[in-house]
Each structure stands twice: as C-alpha cells, then as structure tokens.
Amino acid sequence: MGILWLVVIALGLIYIYNSYKTDEEDMLGLKLVGYYLLGGFHLNLGALPIPLGIIIYLFAFKPTLNIDAKKYAAYLGLAGFIIGVISRFIFM
C-alpha cells in the first residue's frame, strides 16, 4: 500500500509541476516536494492531530514565483494528511 501511495504522490506532484509552472525557477521540483512535506506536517496533541504545516504555509510563506504550483503542492500534502487521519480511524 505504501508504494501505491508513493506513486500517487509522485504523479500528483508531476501533474502540478507540468500544469501550473508559470515562471522559470531553479529546482522547482524539489521546492514542490518541500511544500508537499510542509502541507502534510502535523503535530499530535493527545489523540488530536493538528495540521501545523498548512497553518505555517498560510501565515508565514508568501511565494512570489509559481504561486499556484506551490499552493497546490501544499494542499496535496494536506490531502495526504487528511487521508492518513481518516484511514487511521477506519482501521483502528
């Protein structure tokens, strides 16, 4: 199941890279991976997971180049976080 999830994430990031790249930017692919990881970062307080990464992205990061690509990469990370939380409750 982990390999399938990795393939879905990779395909999602490749789609975002190809569809929303508007400006020339060095190492945009690695930056999108970073935004994905930031969007999926969470903090567990007891049984309640808090999506800390997306909060940091929304309030602290203001990208100037390829704004949509970075935004969607962070939201893909948030979607992965939500799917992980839901699957944890389903398969408990």
From residue 53, alpha-carbon distances to 7, 50, 60, 83, 90 in Å are 22, 9, 10, 15, 24
The pLDDT of residue 13 is: 95
Check if the beta carbon of residue 23 is closer than 8 Å to that of residue 50.
no
Give residue-wise pLDDT tens across range 44-82. Answer: 998 889 999 999 999 998 889 999 999 999 999 999 999
Residue 1, pLDDT score: 64
Residue 37, Cβ density class (10 Å: 0-12 exposed, 13-18 middle, ≥19 buried): middle
What is the residue extent of each domain of the chain? 2-90
CA distance 11 to 26: 20
Query: How many DSSP H helices and E strands does the chain contain?
Result: 4, 2
Q: Cα(32)–Cα(47) distance, rounded to whole angstroms?
A: 29
pLDDT band at 88 (very low <50, low <70, confident <90, very high): confident
Strand-pairing partners, residue 43, are 50
pTM > 0.85: yes or no: yes
41 pLDDT higher than 80? yes
> pLDDT tens for residues 22-33?
989 999 999 999
pLDDT band at 14 (very low <50, low <70, confident <90, very high): very high
pLDDT for the residue numbered 46: 86
